[in-house]
């Protein structure tokens, strides 16, 4: 399959947007006709050729990643970790294996089938959670929690 070349999409631009001309008026009814004036930029047409090129780009991306799409709910392949500054909540079919030491949760293994995709280690000082280390896709994110007189006073994160 040929490489996908992204298209620069442009809006249609006119000299007098949202302008209408009254073409007819009857009892209780007015007919208005769009009168946009001169088209200053044609814009990118939404047609079969452009939409098919978009579809081929999606299909080609899946082939390059070695992935598959089932319906619109799951994607497999390309399991790299993206460093993002947002929270994503999603339904998935992964399993979790939890490990405890002296009643404290110390490790969470997130698995996709038999493959471990993320390991989370939790460390405690005198029974208080102080460090959470997440390892996924070759990246390690360490969250350190600091306390003063038992109150949480700061949370810091580092990425390695």
Same domain, 61 and 109: no
Same domain, 100 and 67: no
How many beta carbons lie within 10 A of that of residue 51, not counting itself? 10
The Cα–Cα gap between 78 and 69 comes to: 12
Into how many domains does the chain fold? 2
Predicted structure pTM score: 0.44
DSSP symbols for 82-143: P--SS--------EEEEEEETTEEEEEEEEETTEEEEEEEEEEETTEEEEEEEEETTEEEEE
Confidence grade of residue 114 (pLDDT, cut at 50, 70, 90)? confident
Averaged pLDDT, 90-94: 67
30 in a structural domain: yes
Same domain, 120 and 152: yes
Q: What is the pLDDT of residues 57-71, one digit of tens each?
A: 777 766 665 555 554
| 133: containing domain | 95-159
The Cα–Cα gap between 121 and 105 comes to: 9
71 in a structural domain: yes
């Amino acid at each position: 399959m040929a490489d996908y070349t992204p298209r620069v999409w442009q809006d249609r631009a006119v000299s007098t947007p949202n302008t209408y001309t009254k073409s007819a008026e009857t009892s209780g009814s007015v007919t208005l006709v769009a009168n946009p004036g001169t088209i200053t930029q044609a814009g990118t047409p939404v047609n079969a050729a452009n939409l098919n090129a978009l579809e081929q780009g999606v299909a080609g991306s899946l082939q390059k990643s070695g992935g598959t799409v089932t319906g619109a709910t799951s994607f497999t392949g390309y399991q790299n970790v993206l460093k993002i500054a947002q929270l994503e909540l999603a339904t998935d079919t992964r399993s979790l294996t939890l490990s405890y030491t002296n009643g404290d949760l110390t490790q969470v293994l997130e698995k996709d089938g038999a493959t471990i995709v993320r390991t989370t280690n939790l460390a405690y000082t005198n029974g208080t959670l102080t460090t959470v280390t997440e390892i996924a896709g070759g990246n390690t994110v360490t969250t350190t929690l600091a306390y003063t007189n038992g109150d949480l006073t700061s949370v810091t994160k580092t990425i390695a």
